[in-house]
Amino acid sequence: DAKTTQPPSMDCAEGRAANLPCNHSTISGNEYVYWYRQIHSQGPQYIIHGLKNNETNEMASLIITEDRKSSTLILPHATLRDTAVYYCIDWGSGNTGKLIFGQGTTLQVKP
């Protein structure tokens, strides 16, 4: 079973920041927090990942709490094309590489 908890759905206005929360209270020390998204019926797409520090790339920012029990994915300027299901996953060598997806958050970006 997935070890992360996410809200099932969220809305965001186009052009505004989308903040997607995730709880991973059972994450172990060698597991990273990964974020993927799935647009419509395509294969999931990697967004960003981190271990302890906050991370930023061209797609998003990842904020991880100091105790590592939760994180927030930030899409700074959401567009309609960001409408997708977003998955937060804790994944690392400690769980023998098994990559388990939870139910994710359906983000609806509205004009």
Partner 1 sequence: DAGITQSPRYKITETGRQVTLMCHQTWSHSYMFWYRQDLGHGLRLIYYSAAADITDKGEVPDGYVVSRSKTENFPLTLESATRSQTSVYFCASSHQTGTGPTEAFFGQGTRLTVV
Contacts with partner 1 by CB under 8 A lie at: 1, 30-32, 34, 36, 38, 41-46, 49, 51, 85, 87, 91-93, 96-104
- By beta-carbon proximity to partner 1, the closer residue of 42 and 111 is 42
- By beta-carbon proximity to partner 1, the closer residue of 22 and 36 is 36
The two three-digit tokens of residue 17, written as one number: 């920041």
Q: Is the dihedral of CA 20, 25, 27, 29 positive or negative?
A: positive
Neighbours of 15 (CB within 10 A): 11
Q: How far is the CB of 65 from partner 1 (least distance, A)?
A: 19
Rounded Cα distance between 41 and 30, Å, is 32
Q: How far is the CB of 85 from partner 1 (least distance, A)?
A: 8
